[in-house]
């Protein structure tokens, strides 16, 4: 097994463990409370509207929007880390068939590993920082994943 | 002519070996998860969405009637509907994903430097976790917090979380096995026999799978760049409109239109997510099966047939899920058929694997 394959297989297992640990932490300590808060704020928006208290209703609706924004991203991180990790391990097993020199293969593997870690990280950071850095991280990570996957697909297509 | 069993493989694919357990168990989990997803899509998904719309309209009517307690009551029912849908989606996703991981671990066995008994124990624990996790998630909606000492976490959640922890523990242990391999120790299961040469079936599965994954990535990037924030803003604005319209009983019909808009938006988001996740999952499945393909004891003609069915189903499901908003239930039915094609191809492969293992075991027992 060469260095690029090792990087993908070991990096993939580490990323899968990270994604699962995050998912477990989220399920135990965050998810139920978040769902409760989301349902509670939407209910409050309608209850306050029925009480003809439009200011409280608008506030509750805004709270619902914020909670849902965070919830979607927190769930996405778990699934994307684990999903990308599995793809990395499979590609690691077959990486010897990618028809490029080992140096190119290593950079493709490194780009895929970096992108797979950074893209979901950028997504989850959007829940704590509404600035540009999390967006930049997510876009750069997704770009790295797509570019490296395209390169790998090309390398595999060259194999006969 | 059917593929011939290779004697050298007996060591790595022995009866009750970790590899065989993980391969059979993993494919059964994937097929079970997909079948559950198909049943859920046909019998639960659309009906549940319809009931959500009705509940939202009832809440708007409660607002129009200035009846806060009725609004509160509607939402306690709506929470149950959302939980019902959410836990079934999660059970489907976690069952298939645990299956993928099991097949992945089966492939990695030669890289994992453990004795047979440890490898088998880890495989059995992983499969137990892979079954208990989706079962626990599925039961969350039905068990609730009955007899639970926690305020919001019920016993079914405890089961699911414990099964998740078990999967993590096994993965960490397998990672340690890979670490040992990288430091010179060798697996008891023998050398890796993933060949670097490939036949037609492997090439098609590998390139088709990679292409599907890449298409899924591009589709996901497009959706998150174009639709994610637009949809989130639309959701808040539609809910605002419902509340405003419902506040004056004369505008209740306008609220009804907004409730329909809310349903359409939820549908648009659901089909985008489903298309994105399914095309990547099926691509990944095809890539995994490229490695399992040498173990499938079917004639070349039948192998090509099941590969064709698998790849066609993998493309039909996400494509027609996306078309569901334009073509309605017809597209939904075709998408479900695509899912069924993938399940049938998987079961055919499982049969091929059983025949392969039978061909390996027969000479042993005869001797």
- Looking at chain A, how many residues does it have? 160
- Please indicate whether residue B162 or residue B199 has the higher confidence score (pLDDT): B162
Is A43 a member of any domain?
A: no
Place of tokens 């989220």: A26
What pLDDT does B3 receive? 44
- Please indicate whether residue B359 or residue B226 has the higher confidence score (pLDDT): B226
Number of independent structural domains in chain B: 1
B191: confidence class by pLDDT, cuts 50, 70, 90 = very low
pLDDT tens digits, one per residue of B39-50: 888 788 778 888
Query: In chain A, which residue's Cα lies nearest the Cα of B163?
Result: A24
What pLDDT does B5 receive? 42
Residue A97's domain spans which residues?
3-28+70-158
Is B204 a member of any domain?
A: yes
Give the range with max mean pLDDT: B37-41, B195-199, B239-243, B348-352: B239-243
CA distance B339 to B331: 12
pTM of the prediction? 0.81
Over residues A26-53, the mean pLDDT reads 88
Q: Running DSSP on this structure, what letter comes out for residue A31?
A: I
B367: confidence class by pLDDT, cuts 50, 70, 90 = very low
Place of tokens 């017809």: B330
Does the structure show a pLDDT above 50 at B348? yes
Share of chain A above pLDDT 90, in %: 52
Question: Do A96 and B196 lie within an 8 Å CB cutoff?
Answer: yes
Question: Do B210 and A23 lie within an 8 Å CB cutoff?
Answer: no
Is B1 a member of any domain?
A: no
Over residues B171-180, the mean pLDDT reads 90
Is A82 a member of any domain?
A: yes
CA atoms within 13 A on the CB side of B74: 25
Name the least confident of B233-237, B241-245, B358-362: B358-362
Share of chain B above pLDDT 70, in %: 90
Global ipTM = 0.84
pLDDT tens digits, one per residue of B141-167: 898 878 877 777 789 989 999 999 999
What pLDDT does B274 receive? 87
Q: Running DSSP on this structure, what letter comes out for residue A99?
A: -
- Please indicate whether residue B355 or residue B194 has the higher confidence score (pLDDT): B355
Over residues A91-112, the mean pLDDT reads 92
B residues 116-155 lying closer than 8 A (beta carbon) to A: 152-153
What pLDDT does B144 receive? 82
pLDDT tens digits, one per residue of B306-335: 899 999 999 999 999 999 888 888 888 898
Is A54 a member of any domain?
A: no
Q: Is B100 on the interface with A (CB under 8 A)?
A: yes
Does the structure show a pLDDT above 60 at B4? no
Q: Do the Cβ atoms of B358 and B3 come closer than 8 Å?
A: no
Over residues B262-281, the mean pLDDT reads 88
Is A135 a member of any domain?
A: yes
Is A40 a member of any domain?
A: no
What pLDDT does B53 receive? 86
What pLDDT does B1 receive? 39
Over residues B170-180, the mean pLDDT reads 90
Q: Do the Cβ atoms of B112 and B178 come closer than 8 Å?
A: yes
Question: Do B164 and A33 lie within an 8 Å CB cutoff?
Answer: no
Does the structure show a pLDDT above 80 at B202? yes
- CATH number at B199 reads 1.20.210
Question: Do B291 and A10 lie within an 8 Å CB cutoff?
Answer: no
Name the least confident of B5-9, B66-70, B141-145, B319-323: B5-9
Residue B100's domain spans which residues?
7-366
Chain A: closest CA distance from residue B199 (Å) = 9
Query: In chain A, which residue's Cα lies nearest the Cα of B106?
Result: A90
Is B83 a member of any domain?
A: yes
Number of independent structural domains in chain A: 1
- Geometric angle at alpha carbon A25, from A22 and A26, rounded to 5°: 80
What pLDDT does B289 receive? 86
Over residues A80-90, the mean pLDDT reads 90
Over residues A96-104, the mean pLDDT reads 90
Does the structure show a pLDDT above 50 at B221? yes
Mean pLDDT of chain A: 90
Q: Is B165 on the interface with A (CB under 8 A)?
A: yes
Tokens of B182: 């990288």
CA-wise closest residue to B294 among B3, B1, B64: B3
- Please indicate whether residue B145 or residue B304 has the higher confidence score (pLDDT): B304
Q: Is B104 on the interface with A (CB under 8 A)?
A: yes
pLDDT tens digits, one per residue of B103-122: 889 888 888 889 889 999 99
Does the structure show a pLDDT above 60 at B174? yes
B6: confidence class by pLDDT, cuts 50, 70, 90 = very low
* Chain B residues whose beta carbon lies within 8 Å of the beta carbon of residue A14: 175
What pLDDT does A125 receive? 94
CA-wise closest residue to B311 among B219, B218, B201: B201
Q: Which of A93, A149, A156 sits opposite B107 (nearest CB)?
A: A93
């Amino acid at each position: 097994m060469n260095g690029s394959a090792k990087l993908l297989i070991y990096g993939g297992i580490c990323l899968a463990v990270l994604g699962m640990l995050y998912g477990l932490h989220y399920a135990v300590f965050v998810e139920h409370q978040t769902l409760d808060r989301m349902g509670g704020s939407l209910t409050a928006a309608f209850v306050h509207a029925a009480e003809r208290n439009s200011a409280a209703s608008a506030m509750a609706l805004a709270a619902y929007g914020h909670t849902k924004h965070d919830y979607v991203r927190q769930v996405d991180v778990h699934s994307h880390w684990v999903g990308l990790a599995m793809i990395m391990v499979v590609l690691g097993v077959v990486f010897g068939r990618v028809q490029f020199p080992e140096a190119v293969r290593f950079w493709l593997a490194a780009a895929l590993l970096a992108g797979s870690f950074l893209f979901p990280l950028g997504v989850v950071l959007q829940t704590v920082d509404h600035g540009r850095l999390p967006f930049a991280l997510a876009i750069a990570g997704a770009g790295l994943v797509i570019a490296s996957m395209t390169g790998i697909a090309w390398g595999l297509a060259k194999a006969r | 002519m059917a593929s011939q069993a290779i004697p050298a493989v007996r060591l790595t694919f022995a009866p009750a070996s970790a590899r065989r357990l993980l391969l059979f168990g993993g494919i059964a989990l994937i097929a079970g998860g997909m079948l559950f997803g198909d049943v859920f899509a046909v019998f639960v998904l659309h009906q549940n969405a319809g009931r959500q719309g009705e509940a939202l309209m009832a809440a708007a009517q409660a607002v129009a009637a200035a009846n806060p307690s009725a609004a509160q009551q509607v939402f306690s029912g709506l929470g149950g509907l959302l939980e019902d849908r959410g836990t079934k989606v999660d059970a489907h996703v976690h069952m298939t994903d645990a299956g993928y991981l099991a097949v992945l671990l089966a492939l990695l066995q030669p890289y994992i430097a453990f004795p047979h008994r440890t490898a088998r124990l880890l495989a059995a624990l992983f499969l137990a976790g892979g079954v208990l996790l989706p079962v626990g998630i599925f039961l969350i909606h039905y068990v609730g917090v009955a007899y639970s000492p926690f305020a919001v976490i019920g016993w079914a959640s405890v089961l699911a979380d414990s099964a998740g922890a078990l999967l993590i523990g096994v993965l960490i242990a397998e990672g340690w096995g890979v670490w040992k391999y990288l430091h010179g120790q060798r697996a008891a299961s023998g050398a890796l026999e993933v060949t670097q040469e490939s036949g037609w079936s492997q090439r098609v599965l590998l390139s088709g799978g990679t292409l599907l994954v890449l298409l899924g990535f591009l589709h996901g990037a497009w959706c998150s760049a174009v639709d994610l924030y637009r949809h989130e803003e639309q959701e808040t604005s539609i809910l605002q409109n419902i509340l405003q319209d419902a506040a004056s009983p004369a505008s209740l019909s306008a609220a009804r239109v907004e409730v329909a808009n809310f349903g359409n938006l939820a549908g648009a988001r659901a089909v985008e997510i489903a298309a994105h996740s399914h095309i990547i999952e099926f691509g990944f499945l095809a890539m995994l099966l490229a490695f399992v393909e040498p173990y499938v004891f079917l004639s070349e003609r039948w192998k090509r047939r099941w590969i064709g069915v698998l790849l066609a189903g993998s493309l039909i499901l996400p494509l027609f899920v996306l078309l569901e908003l334009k073509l309605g239930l017809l597209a939904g039915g075709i998408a479900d058929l695509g899912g069924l094609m993938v399940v049938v191809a998987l079961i055919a492969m499982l049969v091929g694997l059983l025949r392969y293992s039978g061909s390996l075991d027969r000479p042993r027992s005869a001797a």
